[in-house]
Amino acid sequence: MPHQPVLLKEVIEVFNPQPGECYIDATINGGGHSYAILEKIKSSGRILGIDWDCELIKKLQENNSKFGIQNLELICDNYANIKHIARKHNFNKVSGILFDIGFSSYHVEESERGFSFLRDEPLDMRYSLKNNNETAEKIINSQPEKAIENILREYGEERFAASIARGIVAGRKQKRITRTIELVRVIGESVPRAYLKNKIHFATKTFQALRIAVNKELDNLRMALSDSLDILIPSGKIAVVSFHSLEDRIVKNFFKNLAREERIKILTNKPIIASYAESRENPRARSAKLRAATKL
């Protein structure tokens, strides 16, 4: 079975799953949240698990076969299509939808797609190799300097976006930048020396920005959130675990607007964060924020 996912106890408390209910895990990843929900909804309940990465779906299908799990339906698709997917697979009375946004330990440790600045890998950064032709390598080698600067500033909130973009364009004139280690070197040469000694690695925000741009993460999140409400039954719940301020801001504003229209009731006035113990055990949990709401 999978490793413990982030904020598992808190997600289960928000949903309070009951036997026979239906749930959608829009970003099933390693399946940790879904397997915990399955224990609560019993064999009479159903879960639709979606992930854009077909490799992850394949691993989970093997897991289902191994453990004889029959009420977890797995779909390789983008959660931006959540309404279409739900209707196609007859998930019409959904009690809860979970979004656990962001990339997983699998993408960093096993995918070899350039998600980590600590590894020497091709600059790919796609979740879906099948349905996405954009790559980080394409962006940094073909986009104009100003476009790269805007990506780094908007998606990475990188204060040295201009100088890094300038460094990337200068670097690619010498040789096409194709690997993570090459990009890290360019970033390091483009920022002030003091920035190299920051607690947060100097390449973090650039890699985050490129990953978001490659996968259109923020646009997909907006679309999926908007469509999710139509799938939920009245009193159904939506829960979102996000890992950086851009995502959290989108979720916060989405909930605020719908609450103003009296279409939802917000369950988390402030985002729920991981306990000290969980943050110590799993460093990724430190930045996790859970927001939740009930459909009225």
Is the pLDDT reported for residue 272 higher than 60?
Answer: yes
Give the model's pLDDT for residue 104.
62
DSSP E strands in the chain: the ranges are: 22-25, 46-51, 72-76, 94-100, 232-242, 264-266, 272-273, 289-295
Q: Do domains 8-106+217-295 and 112-215 have the same CATH topology?
A: no
What contacts 285, CB < 8 A, 6 or more positions away? 6, 7, 274, 278, 279
The CATH class for the domain spanning 8-106+217-295 reads: alpha beta
The pair phi, psi for residue 101, each rounded to 5°, is -80, 145
Please provide the DSSP assignment of 216-270 as one string.
THHHHHHHHHHHHHHHEEEEEEEEEEE-SHHHHHHHHHHHHHHHHTTSEEES-SS
Q: State percent of the chain over pLDDT 90.
A: 80
CB atoms within 10 A of CB 292: 25
Question: What's the one-letter identity of residue 291?
Answer: R
Distance of alpha carbon 35 from alpha carbon 38, whole angstroms: 5
Domain 112-215, classified CATH 3.40.50.720, yes or no? no
pLDDT tens-digit series, residues 164-184 = 999 999 999 999 999 999 999
Segment 45-51 mean pLDDT: 96
Q: Show me where the domains of the chain are located.
A: 8-106+217-295, 112-215
Give the model's pLDDT for residue 130.
78
138 membership: H or E segment, kind and range = helix 136-142
Helix (H, G, I), strand (E, B) or coil at 86: helix
Q: Are 129 and 270 in contact (CB under 8 A)?
A: no
pLDDT tens-digit series, residues 186-245 = 999 999 999 999 888 999 999 999 999 999 999 999 999 999 999 999 999 999 999 989
